[in-house]
Structures are given as structure tokens and as C-alpha cells.
């Protein structure tokens, strides 16, 4: 899982501070040493680590922090804010052209995920803007690249311009652009060739395509799993092309964090998107603050909420938040949330986005089974309306009746009621705000 080691080590550094109550300068020094090692081990660029630790240390030993009532929380916040800053502060949107088409050129090493990301981007543009993109297959060296793009195009009903593998890629792009012009496509996504490593011939070809097409975006696709190498690759491409942004792929894998934390600082180019799976809808906007939350093990609540909201209207979400705050969240809401969850994708992925869950050792081997949700629902549906609203009513005889009615056994009913109470308690804590609620997440 992404950032696992980094998150664990950072949390360890923080729990060291938390144990102290009153924090001294030397405690901060110890914590900084841990943070420094954690970042280096996560394959973050050395200079980035050096600057990061220096800034955090200076801010953390400030009088107002050390003398405050909650020094450890304030230091966590400083680390969080600094992580956000290193990754670029805020999300950077795609550049668009004043006149159609907007031209997006995908570049990167072989296997980084260019072709897949080209498709993901097209899919995203169609969903969000009802766009009419054209994709151009200009990778004539990797044997299956053209076919791969054509297949993706068929899946998405997006036209793909291709001339096989026997033509000069620059010529393919020229003719592809003419077709886009004629068909009034609003976006053109050019899939270019990669190599196993940067070489001059590749760079020349990409420069020629850049000169011809004047892309509004040149997106470098890099594999997050390659850590520092990804940063070096980014530097290499950035020297020769006018990169406008980076797409970090395979963040669903067990990447250590080095690429996410170094690329912006080293190249000055924003990470615009992250790939989080092989499917064509698994491309997300890169939000530095959410990524910092995730690295700190605070989960990725915003992404979770956004996912929920694809099928969930804002009013409903606000009602739910209100219920959580007031602690009037009941079994009806529980079932409703479970149904929402079912529509949102694999449960174990989602669970990892919940604050405090990402590195919860209890979850390491958990595989959530959709059948479990059906069982939970069956149990709730066997309750009377009054019971659904008030779990305190559920005495042993009622539990036996519910078990019989739902076809589950009493132990399961008991377990479910306990889980419900625990999750209600946890949601309430979380709803009290990021940092106040976090205390328990970093507990030792």
C-alpha cells in the first residue's frame, strides 16, 4: 500500500512527542531526526529532505509552539503544512487552448503508463465536460502500443487516429491534427513513444512533435513506484521539453512516497493527476493537501466524500454530517451508507481512505466481502423502526428475534451492533475537526 512505511515512521515520531506532554527543543530534535530518516527511507530527494527538516525544525522550536498547551499537535500541523507546500500547495488544472482543440501530449518512459493515462484522461474529459477528444497513436516503436490505444478508444468510444507503425511519428501527428481540425474535436491527446531510458533520439523526436503541435499541455507520465528515479526522469525530460505537468501513476501500489514528495520541489513542475489503478476511471486530480493527509495516515476523506457524492447529493451528505455531529446517526443511516459504499468500489480500498484506518494493523489482512454488507442489511431490515432509531432498545430477546428474522446467528447480530456503536463513536470524534480529533489516531 502506498506510503505505508513513511506513514508508520512519521506516526512513530509524533507519538514520541505526544508521550512527553511538555515538549523541549531536544525532543523536537529527536523527532526531526526520525522524520528525516523516514523521508530518506521513503526515497525522497536528499535536498528536499534537508530543506524540509530545516523549515519544520525552525517553526517547531518557536516559543509559541513549545509553550502551547498542545505542542505535539501543533508540530504535526507544521509537518502537514510543509508536506503540502513541498507538493505544490494546491491542485493545478489542465491548461486549455483559447480555441479548440486543446492539445495534450503524453510523454514518459516505456511502461510508465502513458497509453493507459491517455485513455484515462479522455475518459475524464468526456465525463466532466462531455468533451469530444481524438487520440493520436504516435508510439510506433513499442509493438503493441498502437493496438492498445485503439482498444482503449473502442472501450471509450473515442476515435483514434493511427497510421500503423511504418510512418514518422511527426507525420502521424500532423495528419492527426488535421483530422481533429476537420472533425472539430475539442481535445487531442497524443500518445508518444517511450524508451527504457532517456536517449537522444527519443528526445529529438519528442522535440519535433512539440515544435509541430505546440501542445497546451505536455504531461510527463512517471511511475511512482520508481521513487527517486522518477524524479531523475522528470529532470531529464524537463531539460529538453517544455513540460507543463506530471502524472504520477501506480499510486495504488506500494510506492514509498519519494516521487510524490520530490518531483515538484526538484523540477518546479506541478503534479496534475495521479493514477490509482489500471482501470480507465482510476485517474484523480492531485491535491497536495489530501496527499499530505494520506501520507500522515489521516486518510483521504475528501476523495472519499467526492466519490460518495458522485451518486449522492450534497444535501444528503450534509444531513449525514449533521447526524454524525449530533450523534443521532442510526441504523437507517447505517444501511443507507452501506448501500452507498457498495456503489463506490472495492471496500478495502475505501477503508484505507478513512482517517486512522490506512495503517491500522487490524486492517492489514482484512478483505471486505460484499456479502457481508448484504448480511448487515438483512439484520437491520429485521429490526422494528423504533429499534433502528435507537440501538439501546436492543436487549437480548430482541437480538434473538432479529437473528431469527434475518437468518443470521445471534453472535453476528451482537457483533454488528458493536461495530455500529464503534463506528458511530469514531465518526463523532472525526467530526470534531482534523486536529482535535487526531489525537486518538496518533495515540501510542
Which of 101, 215, 270, 275 is the binder for ligand GDP (CB under 6 A)?
Answer: 275
Q: Which residue is nearest to ligand GDP (CB)?
A: 275
Which span sits near ligand GDP by CB under 6 A: 44-52, 96-104, 258-266, 270-278?
A: 270-278
Of 278, 281, 311, 374, the one binding ligand GDP by CB under 6 A: 278
272 interacts with ligand GDP by CB under 6 A: no
Q: Does 437 bind ligand GDP (CB under 6 A)?
A: no
User: What is the smallest separation between the CB atom of 112 and ligand GDP, expressed in angstroms?
Assistant: 4
Q: Is 113 annotated as a binding residue?
A: yes
Binds ligand GDP by CB under 6 A, chosen from 249, 262, 267, 303: 249
Nearer Cβ to ligand GDP (226/249): 249
Instruction: Output the smallest distance, CB 130 to ligand GDP, in A.
Output: 24
Check residue 111 for interaction with ligand GDP (CB under 6 A): yes
55 belongs to an annotated ligand binding site: no
The site map against ligand GDP for 182-221 (x = CB under 6 A) is ------------x--------------------------x
Taking CB under 6 A as the binding criterion, the range among 79-87, 163-171, 244-252, 367-375 that sits at the site for ligand GDP is: 244-252
Asked if 243 is part of the footprint of ligand GDP (rule: CB under 6 A), the reply reads no
Establish whether 108 is an annotated binding residue: yes
> Residue 110 or 232: which CB sits closer to ligand GDP?
110
Strand 133-138 relative to strand 187-192: parallel, antiparallel, unpaired? parallel
| CB of residue 221 to ligand GDP, shortest distance in Å | 6
**Among the listed residues 36, 124, 250, 269, the single contact to ligand GDP using CB under 6 A:** 250
| Contact status: 110 vs ligand GDP (CB under 6 A) | yes
Where does this chain bind ligand GDP (CB under 6 A)? 108, 110-116, 142, 194, 221, 249-250, 252-253, 275-278
Q: Which residue ranges make up the annotated binding site for GTP? A: 108-115, 191-195, 249-252
Q: Which residue ranges make up the annotated binding site? A: 108-115, 191-195, 249-252
Amino acid at each position: 500500500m502506498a506510503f505505508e512505511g513513511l506513514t508508520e515512521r512519521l506516526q512513530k515520531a509524533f507519538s514520541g512527542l505526544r508521550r512527553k506532554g511538555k515538549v523541549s527543543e531536544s525532543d523536537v530534535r529527536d523527532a526531526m531526526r526520525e522524520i528525516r530518516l523516514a523521508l530518506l527511507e521513503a526515497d525522497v530527494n536528499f535536498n528536499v529532505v534537508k530543506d524540509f527538516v530545516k523549515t519544520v525544525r525552525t517553526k517547531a522550536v518557536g516559543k509559541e509552539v513549545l509553550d502551547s498547551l498542545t505542542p505535539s499537535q501543533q508540530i504535526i500541523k507544521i509537518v502537514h503544512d510543509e508536506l503540502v507546500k513541498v507538493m505544490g500547495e494546491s491542485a493545478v488544472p489542465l491548461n486549455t487552448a483559447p480555441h479548440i482543440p486543446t492539445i495534450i501530449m503524453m510523454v514518459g518512459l516505456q511502461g510508465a503508463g502513458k497509453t493507459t493515462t491517455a485513455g484515462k484522461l479522455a475518459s475524464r474529459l468526456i465525463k466532466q465536460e462531455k468533451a469530444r477528444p481524438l487520440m493520436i497513436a504516435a508510439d510506433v516503436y513499442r509493438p503493441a502500443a498502437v493496438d492498445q490505444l485503439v482498444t482503449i478508444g473502442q472501450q471509450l468510444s473515442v476515435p483514434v487516429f493511427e497510421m500503423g507503425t511504418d510512418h514518422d511519428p511527426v507525420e502521424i501527428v500532423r495528419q492527426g491534427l488535421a483530422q481533429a481540425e476537420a472533425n472539430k474535436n475539442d481535445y487531442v491527446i497524443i500518445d508518444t513513444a517511450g524508451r527504457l531510458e532517456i536517449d537522444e533520439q527519443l528526445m529529438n523526436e519528442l522535440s519535433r512533435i512539440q515544435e509541430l503541435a505546440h501542445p497546451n499541455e505536455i504531461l510527463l507520465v512517471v511511475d511512482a513506484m520508481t521513487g527517486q528515479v522518477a524524479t531523475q526522469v522528470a529532470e531529464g525530460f524537463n531539460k529538453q521539453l517544455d513540460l507543463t505537468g506530471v502524472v504520477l501513476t501506480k499510486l495504488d501500489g506500494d510506492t514509498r512516497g519519494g516521487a510524490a514528495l520530490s518531483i515538484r520541489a526538484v523540477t518546479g513542475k506541478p503534479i496534475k493527476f495521479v493514477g490509482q489503478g489500471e482501470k480507465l476511471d482510476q485517474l484523480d486530480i492531485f491535491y497536495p493537501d489530501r496527499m499530505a493527509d494520506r501520507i500522515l495516515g489521516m486518510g483521504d476523506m475528501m476523495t472519499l466524500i467526492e466519490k460518495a457524492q458522485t451518486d449522492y447529493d450534497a444535501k444528503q451528505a450534509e444531513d449525514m454530517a449533521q447526524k454524525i455531529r449530533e450523534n443521532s446517526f442510526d441504523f437507517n443511516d447505517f444501511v443507507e451508507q452501506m448501500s452507498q459504499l457498495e456503489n463506490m468500489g472495492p471496500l478495502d480500498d475505501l477503508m484505507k481512505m478513512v482517517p486512522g484506518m490506512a495503517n491500522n494493523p487490524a486492517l492489514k489482512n482484512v478483505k471486505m466481502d460484499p456479502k457481508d454488507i448484504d448480511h448487515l442489511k438483512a439484520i437491520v431490515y429485521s429490526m422494528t423502526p423504533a429499534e433502528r432509531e435507537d440501538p439501546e432498545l436492543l436487549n437480548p430477546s430482541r437480538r434473538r428475534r432479529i437473528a431469527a428474522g434475518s437468518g443470521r446467528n445471534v453472535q453476528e447480530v451482537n457483533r454488528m451492533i458493536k461495530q455500529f456503536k464503534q463506528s458511530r463513536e469514531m465518526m463523532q470524534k472525526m467530526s470534531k475537526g482534523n486536529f482535535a480529533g487526531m489525537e486518538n489516531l496518533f495515540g501510542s
